[in-house]
Each structure stands twice: as C-alpha cells, then as structure tokens.
Amino acid sequence: MTASPVTSPALVLTTGEPAGIGPELALLAAEDWQGLAASVVAVGDPELLEARARELSLSVTLDVCTPGEAIAPAVNGRLPVWPVGLRAPSHAGRLDPANAGYVLETLDVAIAACRRGQADAMVTAPLHKGAIIEGGHPGFTGHTEYLRDACGVEEVVMMLATERDGRTFRVALATTHLPLQQVSAAITPDGLTRVIRVLVSELQSRFGIEAPRLLVCGLNPHAGEDGHLGREEIEIIGPALTRLRELGIDIVGPLPADTLFTPRHLDAADAVLAMYHDQGLPVLKYAGFGRAANITLGLGMVRTSVDHGTALDLAGSGLADVGSLRVALDVARQMATRVN
C-alpha cells in the first residue's frame, strides 16, 4: 500500500551552537518564512532567542510549547520553540564548552521527534565540534556521525546539494570527518559498496531519480596514473565499482578529481562521490556557497543542514546570511513530502 503524500510536512529546527549564528538564523528565517509550505518548530533556549532578537531588532514572537506538541504551520513573525535550557550563560561570539550538553540535547529532542513520528524532518543549524569535545565529549566528530549512532544505522552518507546552471549539483562523500592521513585506510570495498548503495537508494526514494548516474572520484592525483601515483584505484575502488555495475548501478569511475568537476562530466550525472571531505566539498561550495544544503542519507529519516559553520565572528552582528538555512528548510520539505 502506498502512503499518502505529506502535503505540509512538520520540520524541527535545532538552533545549534548558542554563541554562533544558529539562533539568529532561526529568527531571521521566522521573520519571513518566504512562503515555506511546512510547519516548523525550533529547539533551543527561549531566553537566548529572545535576547538575540532584541539585540538584532528582529520582529519575531516566540511561541514556547511543550516538546512533542503538534507543530504549527509557519507564520511570518512567529517562531514556535520547544525549550531546552542553556547550561551556562551564552554570549554571541564567545564559545563556552559548558554548553556542549545543551547543544547535544537539542539534537536528541529533534531526533526523538522524528523517530516518534512527531516531525517529518529535522534541520540543523551549525554546531562547534571543538566546543563539544572540550565540553566532555572527546569522541564527538560531527552531526553526521552523531545522528548515525543515535539512529542505530551502520552506514550514512553525507551529501551536499546546490543549484548550478539550472541543474542540481550533488556531491556525496565516501569518508567524512577524518584526518587526511586516515583516509586511505578508511576506503574499503565493503565501505564503498555500502555508501553507494545508500546513495543510490536515497536518490531514488527521496529525490525521485529512478536510475541515478554516479561519477566516482579516484583517491590519488590523476586517479593513480595506472598505479604510478597510488594503487587504491586498482586494488580497492575500481573492483568495488565493477561489482556494483554488475548489479545494474550506472556508475562511472574512478575518475581524476581535477577533471571530473567539469561541465562535460557533471551535465550527465545525478551525483558525484568524492573520496574525502576536502576533495569534493570545496568545489560544491565554490559553485554555491550560501545556497547549498547538507543532507544526511541513510538515517531512516530526513535530515538537512546548512553548508557553513558557526561563524562566531558574525554572531550578533546582524550580518549573518540566512540563505543556506532557507535552502536546507526547503530541501527538507521536499524530501519529507516525497513518500515512496
């Protein structure tokens, strides 16, 4: 039986690192939702949000409600809030690791709401990894991995998407937040197979692409130059892609990353799979920084985020750009609306 489409999905928005621009981005979005066809609730400290609204002279009224309560449709100038209390006073631009637990609690509230069916998607404002690590969580490596563990899934895929020349440009990652010296060892045939299966499945179910065409980067310069500049392409990446092609997946690679990101290749692709974080994301962010969404695939629920960090230097200045959050909200809406 096919489920009925979600015409006005409910989105839960975490406000991120309290000293960063996350709180004001939520307020800026609420000041004018720009016709967002969704219901939205923020998760954060109401006093923090009220103070930031006063500091920036934003015309937003907070509606504090009980976590799990039905989420109201987006109305310009109003921001429903599920309250989570700060652990310590927060000031724009000044990190305090004492609030690490606060940031993680906002995520836990949003995750629980999605898993219980109280929300159709979660959207996250940026957090600060260093502050969370210093706040007593040494194993923390980022939103993506935290969500994976909270949802109890084996493999998730980090993908960013933006619009480029009238087409959607998507870059997914085989590895995420790893030191560069650990990347090669982290690329395995089984790992690549899991990542590509998740990517293909989610492109089909969440984006309506029946037969996705993927381009895969090599790890080394010139994709290894036939083994003269590294053998990962010959021994690991190439054989994994061959097996996936035998299963009917439309996949090209491994290709040299320095020439893959050109119109000749990209115009015929639905997504690119880069081997590591800074191989693929600088290209996408150059193409659409501030207009891209970060998407976590494979969670069993919808999660999107902004394409930037906490911007501590901009927090409280009134200069923060809400563009990427608007994209993340709309992409979450679109993904949650699609039911397969």
Length of the chain equals 340
Distance CA(216)–CA(259), nearest Å, equals 12
List residues forming the annotated binding site for substrate: 143-144, 285, 294, 303
**Secondary element (H or E) of residue 42:** strand 39-44
> Hey, which residues does 124 pair with through a beta bridge?
14, 305
Single-letter amino acid code for the residue at 244: L
**Contact between residue 290 and residue 308 where contact means Cβ atoms under 8 Å apart:** yes
**Contact between residue 142 and residue 130 where contact means Cβ atoms under 8 Å apart:** no
Q: What is the DSSP string of 275-318?
A: SSHHHHHHHHHHHHTTS-EEEEESSSSEEEE-SS---TTTTTTT
List residues forming the annotated binding site for a divalent metal cation: 177, 222, 277
Nearest to 324 by CA among 152, 161, 139: 161
Q: How many CB atoms lie within 10 A of CB 240?
A: 22
List residues forming the annotated binding site: 143-144, 177, 222, 277, 285, 294, 303
Q: Determine the distance from the C-alpha atom of residue 220 to the mean position of all C-alpha atoms in its chain, rounded to a whole number.
A: 26
